[in-house]
Amino acid sequence: MEIFKIIYSTLIAFIAIIALLLIVSILPITGNIKFMTVISGSMEPAIKIGSVVMVKPANDYNIGDVITFGQVTKTKAPTSHRIYDIKVVDGQPVYITKGDTNNAPDAREVPKKEVLGKVMFSVPYLGYAVNSAKQPLGFAVIIITPALIIIFDEVKNIYGEIKKEKTNEAR
């Protein structure tokens, strides 16, 4: 029975983390941290495909920092690449970026206004669960799984109480 409680607690904690990341990644909180899923391998091995990255805006970005930039829409995902070089155009920094696995810097230069923030850390493979939770079936699993576990636990408790009552009546 102890192993069941450990599995139950772990599953509930995992689902809570996924739900929290899902909510935080959907809400448009400007000037704040964002959690995003990495969908390409251009930054491997530093950031693996399917990782969740925490992105936080900063005042300054330096060569070597991994930044996330671009539009966040249903059809377009932002890009996370390392700053390869910095130019100043009209008094504003413009970043030349490069994915760690790419042979050459990106052709497109990134103005500071398009930078969403600096990647603070990444959690490998958690993005697969977050992306699954964004799908109807995955979302249903997040709702149904804890409900079934709670129902199973309650039925087990009721059955135990009924069994205890029958044993007490038999005496």
pLDDT (tens digit per residue) in 81-133: 999 999 999 999 999 999 999 999 999 999 999 999 999 999 898 888 777 77
| pLDDT surpasses 80 at 23 | no
The CA dihedral of 64, 45, 53, 77, to the nearest 10 degrees, is: 90
Any domain includes 74:
yes
Say whether pLDDT at 72 is over 70.
Answer: yes
For the whole model, what pTM was predicted?
0.68
CA distance 104 to 58: 26
When divided into structural domains, the chain yields a total of: 1
Min mean pLDDT across 35-39, 78-82, 145-149 is at 145-149
pLDDT tens column, 127-169: 887 777 778 888 777 778 778 888 888 898 899 899 888 887 7
Instruction: State the average pLDDT over residues 2-14.
Output: 80
Inside any domain, residue 156: no
The answer to whether residue 171 is domain-embedded is: no
Q: Mention every residue, 6+ apart, whose C-beta is less than 8 A from residue 43.
A: 66, 80, 81, 82, 99, 100, 101
Strands 34-37 and 92-98 come out as: unpaired
| Residue at 169 is within a domain | no
What number is the average pLDDT over the span 31-58?
88
pLDDT at 22 over 70: no
Indicate whether 50 belongs to any domain: yes
Q: Is residue 48 part of a domain?
A: yes
87 neighbors 97 (Cβ within 8 angstroms)? no
Domain that holds residue 91: 2-134
Q: Is residue 64 part of a domain?
A: yes
CATH number for position 126: 2.10.109.10
Residue 95 in any domain: the answer is: yes
